[in-house]
Amino acid sequence: MRRTNLLRMAAATIAAIMVATAAPAGVANASGRPSPAGTTAAEGPAMAPAATNLALGRPTQESGHADVYDSSKVVDGNAGSYWESVNNAFPGWVQVDLGSSQVVNQVVLKLPTAGWPTRTQTLSVRGSTNGSSFTDLVGSQTYTFNPATGSTVTIGVTPTATRYVRIHVTANSGWPAGQLSEVEVYGTSATPDTTAPSVPGTLSHSTSGSTITLAWGASTDTGGSGLAGYNVYRDGNLIATLGAVLTYQDTQPVTATVSYHVRARDGAGNLSGAGNTVTRTGSTPPACTNVALGKPVTASGSTFTFTPEKANDGQVTTYWEGAPSYPQTLTVALGANHSVTGVTVKLNPDPAWGTRTQTIQVLGRDQASSTYTNLVSAATYQFVQGTNVATIPVGATTADVQLRFTGNTGAPSGQVAEFEVCGTPAPNPDLVVDSVTWSPASPNESTPVTLSAVVRNIGSAAAPATTVNFSLAGTVVGSAAVGALGAGGSTTVSFNAGARPMGSYSVAATVDPTNAVVEQNNGNNSLTAPAPLVVAQAPGPDLQVLAIASNPPNPAVGASVTFTVSVRNRGTTGTGASVTRLTVGGTTLDTGTASIAAGATVTVAVTGSWTATSGGATITATADATNTVAETNEGNNSLSQSIVVGRGAAVPYVSYEAEAANYQGVLLETDPLRTFGHTNFATESSGRRSVRLNSTGQFVEFTSTNQANSIVVRNSIPDAPGGGGIEATISLYVNGTFSRKLTLSSRHSWLYGNTDGPESLTNTPQADARRLFDESHALLTQSYPPGTRFRLQRDAGDTAAFYVIDMIDLEQVAPAASQPPECTSITAYGAVPNDGLDDTAAIQRAVTDDQNGVINCVWIPAGQWRQEQKILTDDPLNRGAHNQVGISNVTIRGAGMWHSQLYTLTEPQNVVGGINHPHEGNFGFDIDRNTQISDIAIFGSGRIRGGDGNAEGGVGLNGRFGTGTRISNLWIEHANVGVWVGRDYDNIPELWGPADGLQFSGMRIRNTYADGINFTNGTRNSRVFNSSFRNTGDDALAVWASQYVKDRNVDVAHDNQFLNNTIQLPWRANGIAVYGGYGNSIENNLIYDTMNYPGIMLATDHDPLPFTGQTLIANNGLYRTGGAFWNEDQEFGAITLFAATRDIVGVTIRDTEIVDSTYDGIQFKNGGGNVPNVAVTNVRIDRSNNGAGILAMSGARGSATLTNVTITNSADGNIVREPGTQFVINGG
């Protein structure tokens, strides 16, 4: 999965944002620039140049430059680097100072060749002896720069004595700016002038505010080259090169003490001695404290990774750049009112940052107000190359300081490397936690624990009453009231946290957790105790249920099911006799259980059985169900899990279709061909219907049949006009009463283009769009019973142009799980929930410690945890271009997929500093072997599969996976691929270890840009069970017997199972696919609404290892599957066998229902291989809407035997063999 890197190139206007290839830094990707179509003027007469390029390494000047493409590039001898003038601002010029007068007879101009198409530039060559008065050496003409001839233009010049050579550009057919990589000047030296001018007359100065006016007497020159002008120096540094003038004005802060002197300069570059020195003494500034450093910074927009937090990180080498339009704002929140005396705006002083001016207004917001008012009116500030600092005096009291940019001569938006605010806190309270303690100091798990905190007001004003939140292992467990505190006052508050399970807990207290009190500093409200609270095991018995097993594990409806329960006594003494209870559906089974010794585990064979019912049930096993054993912990006796009966996953939610609900809006229904890819909302809808809300007051109202405290809304709202998505609210009413606003987003939907190439779509709006839907989810404030009415209504404040509602999921989410005693929380490594800061380093340290045996398990508590780099193992040998070493021997557990959620804000290609592997992204986990991960969510930041400006989607889980890996109850969304299992053998051969015995269960994979879960690179004996997939951008489930393995005779993908899964709405490719291998099975799955490919496909495209042995497709249900793809020319059946290159052998299709297919029910497709002896048994096919029940295409070869196959309502016939086919169908 190969990608190129993204380099940033910024120019002076919106039109100047472009994408660069991974060529040497600073080389434009000319494929992003249009090919020229202009005329070419005749070039000057060819002349043999002198042996020496007189311009090489000489000083340069310019009219200006875009971004880092400054004038020094034209004399560096490197044809790959280049100067580019300010964009959309012709004319532009660049000049070379030859150092002294030279007789010039030829100029050679160059552009880079690699990747740069032919272009023309209209330009003139000018010369000057003094650097201020220029005449044409060669008048304006149009020249062609053609890579075929080295992108080189040679211009003959009538021999002329000159010191300064200027190239003056007025047009460029390839880019809206002048561009030159090299300016070479050839000729012969004139008689040198070595006599310096006389010293300038007496220098004097006068001051008015920040303006300093200098004046001096004239010099004379007798050396022959003539007086060229004067150089002005400030503090020994050249600040101005002037013509023959006798005054100069400089602007410096009134606080600055500066000294000046002047030297005369002749046409040959000779400098006089220095004249007298004058000094302007500045006023002494008051002491200044930068109160903005590290404070929250927000912006109206950003370009690429140049985000607002970089504007106050204390580093001038990082910077914010606004979106390419005006106005743009940058705002720092000081937390409370401050007396502000000034603002300093800095850019990088590196010479690559040329002089520029920015137009800036300063605004402020009082802590008691929500509006911004003017503090300093808009003015133009100059940022001089080499210092790049502007200071703006301010006199105001404000809580926020905002810079409003309306112009920048150096870039298409405002730019700030450091935003400093000089000020002092205004009178306000400031609450801190001085200490956190607990009692008793060494509790056991039966002892209640009291948490205490000392709160102090270190501010200069009284604080009103507030609260303190107490947290254990990162989870808030309770709060205590804090009374009003005068300045300097303190108090101690306590909270009874009750008994806690054995384990180690970080203890923290946060005063004023909702920031209701306006304080001088909101960043010092929390304190974590330096040592953890350690809860010891209590003496006595303690029973736990470890596991439940059923026989058979996946029963058919009506089957008799028996159970065993694994019960452990984790306590310190025996239990005595007890009762183990198992409930399933409406059945309760009690079993007497003998005494269990301390530390022992027994398997209880449950008395009785259960008759399996359709759809499955929840099994709950409880140890000591009658409470006869006095245990040290009575809260850990039960374990629940699902048992799946029949087809599909036993999902914990119920889905409700909009079209089946009560609604006021427009019903959208697909066309008969279910056309896809042309902004077809209904085709992409579940059931191929949805409801559109166009007007205020329109709604969709669902009546629940299950208990629920959460909601997922599958919806579509418009894209932003320029792409990138929008956010908009919709109103949720419960039983007719307004409940809350739900935020919907189109940031991850809307792909454009007519191509079917997997990486050829774009996020740039066009007429035809696909992947129109996305999902939003929310935990509700309470649980609602069956019969509750949930209404999604477009109210006046819901501002999207339209809302398409497809379906909702209602789920009763269990409370967040408690930290297991054997696990260590990521908060112990410095992670902080819900603060918006990157927690990757803390998570990585915890995982590394677990891998190294320092801890036993990594605990991810309830909360939102930001992750901006993949968790992996650092490769000490740095093998390969990317780090491809995963984690091993690690256990990671969370509080539940709705509670413990990892998320990223940065698209993978925009990660600062790059990522470990471009195609695998900056989130999730890289796994090598023996890893268990459960009960978390991973929300990526992908917006496309790839190809559009090197954009990426990332992978939730990837790696070799090896042996001993189990993944359960993970929610993965907005990734390129949910899970990619396997690495090519040549990716560090010594680590080769294909997945073997890998288990996935309870997976919830949504809204990807490619596969859901793909088993490749020799994966074997592995299973995906009881999982759900929705809106995947490639095969939801696949086995790909890739050839990129160690031994193609041994490392064949085999004996993998896709069992009891539910798949909905793949927007590209198949529901389930198998490409080669043997012993692989697809059983008991439900597949709905594929856009363009089969519900199930066996195929030999993608160059797999051969099919051998048996492949089983059994007891599946396929509804509204199949479609047309590849320019809408190829039609696919609900089940398709496609022997593209090799044979597909040993196929059985049985006990399957295929209903409402877009084209054929079962299709044997044209191909170069043979499909012999397919057994089709007990299959029902109904409503093949635009095709046959079973179709053998004209180029198909092989045979099938049908037994007990029922076909009804087929548009083209029940069994159709196209003319010329060599496929034989027997039976019926």
Q: Each residue of 256-299: pLDDT tens digit? A: 889 999 999 887 788 999 999 999 988 765 567 899 998 889 99
Q: Are 631 and 543 in contact (CB under 8 A)?
A: yes
Taking every pair of Cα atoms in the chain, the longest distance, rounded to a whole number of angstroms, is 119
pLDDT (0 to 100) of residue 44:
37
3-state class percentages of the chain: helix first, strand second, coil last, to nearest 5: 5, 45, 50
* Residue 35 banded pLDDT, cuts 50, 70, 90: very low
**Mean pLDDT, all residues of the chain:** 90
pLDDT (0 to 100) of residue 7:
26
CA distance 836 to 904: 10
CA distance 27 to 933: 44
Identity of the amino acid at 817: A
For residue 734, the Cα-to-chain-centroid distance in whole angstroms is 34
Q: Are 763 and 724 in contact (CB under 8 A)?
A: yes
For residue 729, the Cα-to-chain-centroid distance in whole angstroms is 22
* Residue 862 banded pLDDT, cuts 50, 70, 90: very high
pLDDT (0 to 100) of residue 9:
30
CA distance 745 to 776: 7
Which residue matches tokens 């089957």? 559
Dihedral class, residue 799 (left if φ above 0, else alpha if ψ from -120 to 50, else beta): alpha
pLDDT (0 to 100) of residue 221:
86
In 3D, which of 222, 216, 200, 201 has the Cα closest to residue 268? 222
Reply yes or no on whether the pLDDT at 232 is more than 80.
yes
pLDDT (0 to 100) of residue 41:
33
Rounded to an integer, the average pLDDT of 1137-1145 is 97
CA distance 280 to 209: 11
Report CA Rg, the chain.
37
HSE at residue 784, side-chain half, CA atoms within 13 A, is 22
Dihedral class, residue 275 (left if φ above 0, else alpha if ψ from -120 to 50, else beta): beta
pLDDT (0 to 100) of residue 919:
73
Q: Each residue of 542-563: pLDDT tens digit? A: 999 999 999 988 788 889 999 9
Q: Each residue of 505-555: pLDDT tens digit? A: 999 999 998 888 988 888 899 999 999 999 999 999 999 999 999 998 878
Q: Are 1084 and 1057 in contact (CB under 8 A)?
A: no
In 3D, which of 398, 403, 382, 408 has the Cα closest to residue 312? 403
How many C-beta neighbours within 10 Å does residue 735 have?
12
φ, ψ dihedrals at 1119, nearest 5°? -135, 125
Which residue matches tokens 């080259």? 225
Reply yes or no on whether the pLDDT at 315 is more than 70.
yes
Domains 204-280 and 543-643 share a fold: yes
More confident call, 1094 vs 6: 1094
In 3D, which of 676, 617, 621, 679 has the Cα closest to residue 645? 617
CA distance 242 to 225: 16
pLDDT (0 to 100) of residue 191:
66
CA distance 1223 to 1228: 15
Domain covering 297-425: architecture: Sandwich (2.60)
Reply yes or no on whether the pLDDT at 51 is more than 80.
no
Reply yes or no on whether the pLDDT at 3 is more than 80.
no
Per-position DSSP letters for 402-450, written without gaps between them: EEEEEEETTSSS-EESEEEEEEEEPS---EEEEEEEEESSS-BTTS-EE
Give residues with Cβ within 8 angstroms of 1099, minimum separation 6. Answer: 1073, 1074, 1075, 1136, 1137, 1138, 1139, 1140, 1144
CATH 2.60.120.260 applies to domain 31-189 = yes
Q: C-alpha distances in angstroms, 1199 versus 90, 845, 1203, 1208? A: 72, 58, 13, 22
Give residues with Cβ within 8 angstroms of 876, minimum separation 6. Answer: none
* Residue 565 banded pLDDT, cuts 50, 70, 90: very high
Which residue matches tokens 């001085």? 434
Q: Each residue of 766-795: pLDDT tens digit? A: 999 999 999 999 999 999 999 999 999 999
Q: C-alpha distances in angstroms, 482 versus 449, 510, 520, 528? A: 20, 11, 18, 18
CA distance 824 to 854: 10
* Residue 301 banded pLDDT, cuts 50, 70, 90: confident
Residue 440 preceded by cis peptide, ω within 30: yes
Q: Each residue of 354-366: pLDDT tens digit? A: 999 999 999 999 9
pLDDT (0 to 100) of residue 916:
63
Which residue matches tokens 């418009």? 718
Which listed CATH number (2.60.40.10, 3.30.750.24, 3.40.640.10, 3.10.350.10) goes with 431-535? 2.60.40.10
For residue 85, the Cα-to-chain-centroid distance in whole angstroms is 33
For 347-417, strand residue ranges (E) read: 356-365, 373-383, 389-408, 415-416
What's the sign of the alpha-carbon dihedral 790, 793, 797, 800?
A: positive
For residue 1173, the Cα-to-chain-centroid distance in whole angstroms is 48
How many C-beta neighbours within 10 Å does residue 42 have?
8
* Residue 1165 banded pLDDT, cuts 50, 70, 90: very high
* Residue 723 banded pLDDT, cuts 50, 70, 90: very high
Topology of the domain covering 204-280: Immunoglobulin-like (2.60.40)
How many C-beta neighbours within 10 Å does residue 1202 have?
20
Domain covering 824-1064: architecture: 3 Solenoid (2.160)
Structural domain spans, the chain = 31-189, 204-280, 297-425, 431-535, 543-643, 653-811, 824-1064, 1070-1228
How many residues are recorded in the chain? 1228
CA distance 1000 to 1051: 21
Domain 543-643 sits in CATH at: 2.60.40.10
Instruction: Calculate what percentage of the chain has a pLDDT beyond 90.
Output: 75
In 3D, which of 896, 747, 721, 873 has the Cα closest to residue 812? 896
For residue 677, the Cα-to-chain-centroid distance in whole angstroms is 25
The SS3 call for residue 1087 is: strand
Which residue matches tokens 């947290």? 471
CA distance 654 to 704: 8
Per-position DSSP letters for 928-981, written without gaps between them: EEEEEEEEEEEE-----SB-STT-B--EEEEE---BS-EEEEEEEES-SEEEEE
Residue 552 preceded by cis peptide, ω within 30: yes
CA distance 1145 to 60: 73
pLDDT (0 to 100) of residue 209:
79
Which listed CATH number (3.30.565.10, 2.60.120.260, 1.10.760.10, 2.60.40.10) goes with 653-811? 2.60.120.260
CA distance 639 to 650: 17
Reply yes or no on whether the pLDDT at 1011 is more than 50.
yes
In the DSSP assignment, the letter for residue 1128 is: T
Q: Each residue of 1034-1059: pLDDT tens digit? A: 999 999 999 999 999 999 999 999 99
For residue 854, the Cα-to-chain-centroid distance in whole angstroms is 31
Dihedral class, residue 375 (left if φ above 0, else alpha if ψ from -120 to 50, else beta): alpha
Reply yes or no on whether the pLDDT at 21 is more than 50.
no
pLDDT (0 to 100) of residue 352:
86
Reply yes or no on whether the pLDDT at 608 is more than 80.
yes
Rounded to an integer, the average pLDDT of 797-824 is 94
Q: Each residue of 364-393: pLDDT tens digit? A: 999 989 899 999 999 999 999 888 999 999
In 3D, which of 1096, 1119, 1110 has the Cα closest to residue 1172? 1110
Per-position DSSP letters for 662-679, written without gaps between them: EEESEEEE--TT---SSS
pLDDT (0 to 100) of residue 5:
26
Going across the sheet that includes 449-457, the strands are 431-439, 449-457, 490-498
CA distance 784 to 787: 9
Which residue matches tokens 């996976």? 961
